[in-house]
A and B are shown apart, each in its own frame.
Chain A
Amino acid sequence: EAGVVQSPRYKIIEKKQPVAFWCNPISGHNTLYWYRQNLGQGPELLIRYENEEAVDDSQLPKDRFSAERLKGVDSTLKIQPAELGDSAVYLCASSRGQTTNYGYTFGSGTRLTVV
């Protein structure tokens, strides 16, 4: 089975510019997560989707971050405008079902550098 696919792999932008990340989850996985990982830290949840519904976005900085998951499959995470502190790796993950007792699968991430 194909894994979680993310693009782009790397992105370098100037501060105040917009940026978008794309994620295609594993087929049949209705739960999708966006995490952010800063250097030397573990991943931190930004937003979780159950199908097309965002069920937990409490950690998403809503003044500049937005996300969508149209049709409950692919998802896009956007930052506008980007700040220097947004430099991090943005990881997408997916899992099957709401109540799974298993860990989930991450994509290879997008490494964002804001200069």
Chain B
Amino acid sequence: RKEVEQDPGPFNVPEGATVAFNCTYSNSASQSFFWYRQDCRKEPKLLMSVYSSGNEDGRFTAQLNRASQYISLLIRDSKLSDSATYLCVVNPFSGGYNKLIFGAGTRLAVHP
């Protein structure tokens, strides 16, 4: 079983739609969680951290469910510019060191 699993998609949605991505992780001791965005042929960039209480950044909302080892990302009012691959990232923080484990990513395509 992979440490971080995501639905690869693609999710094809019209502009203005609301779309949600889910992710599960296997290490129950994981300490911190993130969503990264990766545009085609570009490096991954941090989109947002995911906190236990849930957090929101504009049109983006991230949720964490530690009991179910599940992370989600909700995008409201999708824009064409949101088209990208979204990587779910977990930090198991093993041995006291920062180490990010990436999922394979979920591809989002927003169309007019």
Interface assignment of B96: CB less than 8 Å from any CB of chain A: yes
Interface string of B55-89 (1 = CB under 8 A from A): 00000000000000000000000000000000101
Once the chains bind, are A103 and B49 in contact (CB under 8 Å)?
A: yes
Closest A residue to B48 by beta carbon equals: A103
> Which residues of chain A have C-beta atoms less than 8 A from B36's C-beta?
103
Once the chains bind, are B96 and A42 in contact (CB under 8 Å)?
A: no
Interface residues on B, range: 20 to 34
* A106 vs B99: C-alpha distance when bound (angstroms): 14
> Which residues of chain B have C-beta atoms less than 8 A from A44's C-beta?
102
Once the chains bind, are A103 and B89 in contact (CB under 8 Å)?
A: yes
Once the chains bind, are B104 and A41 in contact (CB under 8 Å)?
A: yes
> Which residues of chain A have C-beta atoms less than 8 A from B43's C-beta?
91, 106-109
> Which residues of chain B have C-beta atoms less than 8 A from A31's C-beta?
98
Closest B residue to A102 by beta carbon equals: B49
Interface assignment of B31: CB less than 8 Å from any CB of chain A: yes
> Which residues of chain A have C-beta atoms less than 8 A from B32's C-beta?
101-102
Once the chains bind, are B100 and A104 in contact (CB under 8 Å)?
A: yes
The listed residue (A40, A48, A97, A107) touching B99 by CB distance below 8 A is: A48
> Which residues of chain A have C-beta atoms less than 8 A from B31's C-beta?
101
Q: B101 → chain A, closest Cβ, in Å?
A: 8
Interface assignment of A95: CB less than 8 Å from any CB of chain B: yes
Interface assignment of A115: CB less than 8 Å from any CB of chain B: no
Instruction: Give B contacts to A, CB under 8 Å.
Output: 4, 8, 31-32, 34, 36, 41-46, 49, 87, 89, 91, 96-105
Closest 3 CB pairs of A and B: A42-B102, A106-B43, A103-B46
